[in-house]
Amino acid sequence: MTSVAGYQWTLVLGSACWLVLYIVYVMTTAKPALVIVQMFHGMAYVFFMIGGQFYCNAVAAPEIQSTVQALIFAATTGVGLFLGTQLAGIVMDKFSVAGKFQWKKIWMVPLAIVAIGTIVLAVAFHDDSPKKDAAKPAADKQAAVVAAPERLAG
């Protein structure tokens, strides 16, 4: 997934997909557009959430990778979801007039948050993951096959 674009741009692409989703939410209420743009939510999830998990595995020591994955899960589906729900309630109360929600204004809040986050991610995040030599695993396998008969004979 990250061999062409790298982790940084994979994560930026995921964040940008959410940005596109919120831009469409702000600009239109046309049902066909809203249905079509839902694919960007799936792409955002794959590129950002799954890409982030791959990145964490690349930088974490093997003995703590499962702990890192658990931390990501707790942060996104626990604390993040709780805080996001609280913020959504505040935003929806603020942009409600006579019991009717002002959806364009409501969607502007996550749009602004994601726009800022995408820019910060593109500018400030640097992929410090160890670079893996693509030829090395093949060479290691070949060396293991060559060494195997010697071990059997000895």
**Domain layout of the chain by residue ranges:** 6-153
Q: Residue 94 and residue 86: Cα distance in Å, rounded?
A: 13
- Angstrom CA distances, 134 to 25, 128, 131, 138, stand at 42, 17, 9, 8
Q: What tokens appear for 142 in the block?
A: 């070949």
Give 13-65 pLDDT, tens digit per residue: 999 999 999 999 999 999 999 999 999 999 999 999 999 999 999 999 999 99
For the chain, helix (H) and strand (E) counts, in that order, are 8, 2
- Angstrom CA distances, 61 to 13, 56, 64, 131, stand at 26, 9, 6, 14
CATH, domain 6-153, list 1.20.1250.20, 2.60.200.20, 1.10.3720.10, 3.30.70.380: 1.20.1250.20
Q: What is the mean pLDDT of the chain?
A: 86
pLDDT higher at 7 or 1: 7
Residue closest to 14 by CA, chosen among 3, 24, 1, 25:
1
Residue closest to 128 by CA, chosen among 48, 5, 8, 16:
8
